[in-house]
Amino acid sequence: MRMTEVSTKFEISQDTLRYYERIGLIPPVNRNKSGIRDYTEEDLRWVEFIKCMRNAGLPIEVLIEYVGLFQKGDETLEARKELLIEQRTQLLIRMEDMKKVFERLDYKIERYEQTIRKKEKSLTRSEN
């Protein structure tokens, strides 16, 4: 599969795809005889995985490390697992923070609604 197609499929710009590959965020992609990228099924899985993880806010640096470990083979299984556990923990912490903020926003919105209702009522009265 060519860049254009991959780019549309995952909604990642071609520049970003090349950038990701350049910095090692996805493993080197296969090329045809004239040097043009031809994404295999596995390449696509990497792209999808990286997109998904980035979307959840995992730092590029960490993902580069993961890809690097992966390419070193089976000796790094344990290290990769530990890396993922750490990221899962971080993610959970962020989700908990966000939940608190969500509730706070909820409360603030509620209070705005009350205030606005009161304002409206007092306006109506003054019109009479």
Separation of alpha carbons 24 and 62, rounded Å: 11
Give per-residue burial for 1-28: e unless 16+ CB within 10 Å, then b. Answer: eebeebbeebebeeeebeebbeeebbee
Q: Which of 10, 19, 24, 91 binds DNA (CB under 7 A)?
A: 19
Contacts with a second copy by CB under 8 A lie at 52-53, 55-58, 74, 77-78, 80-81, 84-85, 87-88, 91-92, 94-95, 97-102, 104-106, 108-109, 112-113, 115-116, 119
In the complex, the residues that contact DNA under the rule CB under 7 A are 2-5, 13-16, 18-19, 22, 31, 33-37, 54, 59-61
